[in-house]
Amino acid sequence: MVDVAGSTDNDGLDFHGVGHNSAGAQQSHRRGVIAVKPAPLAQSPVSELPFRSLSPYLRARFGREVHRVALDAGSTCPNRDGSKGFGGCVYCDVDGSGNAELKSGFQLAEQLERGIERVLRRDPNSGVIAYFQSYSNTYVERSRLKEVLQVVEPYLKDRVCAVSIATRPDTLPAEALELLSELAQRVPVWIELGLEAADDALLAKIKRFHTVQDFSSAVERSQAAGLEVIGHAILGLPGDGREGARRTARLFAETGVDGVKVHNLMVLRRTQLEQWYRQGAVAVLDTETYVDWLADFIERLAPHQILHRLSGDAPADERIAPTRQVHASEIRMRLLAELEGRKSRQGCRLGERSQPVP
């Protein structure tokens, strides 16, 4: 699915595509992996907002504005190459969750260099997060992953503040964690794990071909290796419902992921979901419903978890539904109004057991 790299995210953080840990950390050893425990995310000042917002957190942590540079390392996925299936997840287009601008043909090092140049033209003092976005970036041989990670090395001292790796929970071999753990001793490393929904039957239906337990295990192993974990969820998947959104948030809280990305379901061209949508077998949430469910979701997260994303978007020529793309800033304003109306905030329903949906 198209993510928001190359546009402005819901927290006011610019995502720059080309054409789409911490000091004082404690070392430990587990299963032969050198682990560096990252500084707690909750150490930054408590947000005055009713949820933990990304931009203030980044400014507090890095002492400057920080922007992501989206990168395409040429990876693939096990449900595309035949290892688990073909064609990818039902909602994922041929770009594998990457921004269309990444289809530039530039080599990886040039993608990063050009992305940094774009950031610096806007703000010469900015830091950069090198974001390996498309497909499953740890689903490669060890030698290839090492080669990919070496691209950021020249920029670690003065420009790259963190490295973010998008992948699946079932594509994290020990050798990948070892390489990422080594890098995490010098720069914060975020591992973005796609869960999407905390329901094994639904995960099979949408052709994710991994389980909830795969996700929970990947979170534990990643954090043991000194990585910071961002969980990814989609609200409004076919058959998931409002309680499904709540269940997924509860799982994020229980597993202790450090950050969360969440967005509404979108129907894109050249996906199986497009066929279902045209057959009337699936619908997308309207803005009012999405914000309502999103508020439920946030109320059930742990208070320390950073919200990296509140909604998604896609180019109009690739998006079939929703037909009108609501800007991220509008989603944010509506969410703030909803939480204020409820007199609630992130984590206020943490630990609440499942209840019938009104």
- Residue 258: inside a domain: yes
Task: Report residue 59: phi and psi, to 5°.
Answer: -65, -40
Question: What residue numbers bound the domain in which 118 lies?
Answer: 15-342
The H or E element that residue 251 is part of is: helix 241-255
Burial 274-291 (b: 16+ CB within 10 A, else e): bebbeeeebebbeeeebb
pLDDT value at residue 358: 52
Domain holding 135: CATH number? Answer: 3.20.20.70
Question: Which residues, 6+ apart, have CB-to-CB distance to 254 below 8 Å?
Answer: none
Helix pair 142-150, 174-184: axis angle to 10 deg: 20
- Residue 245: inside a domain: yes
- Residue 126: inside a domain: yes
- Give CA–CA dist 266/284, Å, rounded: 7
pLDDT digits (tens, 9 = 90+) for 327-358: 999 999 999 999 999 999 999 999 776 655 55
- Residue 66: inside a domain: yes
- Residue 4: inside a domain: no
Cis peptide, bond prior to residue 322, ω within 30 of zero = yes
- Residue 347: inside a domain: no
- Residue 358: inside a domain: no
DSSP 175: H
pLDDT value at residue 94: 72
pLDDT digits (tens, 9 = 90+) for 300-309: 999 999 999 9
pLDDT digits (tens, 9 = 90+) for 61-84: 999 999 999 999 999 999 999 999
Query: Is residue 34 within 8 Å of residue 182, measured between CB atoms?
Result: yes
Number of domains the chain is built from: 1
Of 30-39, 68-77, 310-319, where does mean pLDDT reach its minimum? Answer: 30-39
> What tokens were used for 223?
């954090």
pLDDT digits (tens, 9 = 90+) for 191-245: 999 999 999 999 999 999 999 999 999 999 999 999 999 999 999 999 999 999 9
- Give CA–CA dist 96/91, Å, rounded: 10
- Give CA–CA dist 289/326, Å, rounded: 13
pTM of the model: 0.86
- Residue 357: inside a domain: no
How far, in Å, are 9, 85, 286, 319, 339 from residue 325 at the CA level?
13, 31, 10, 9, 22
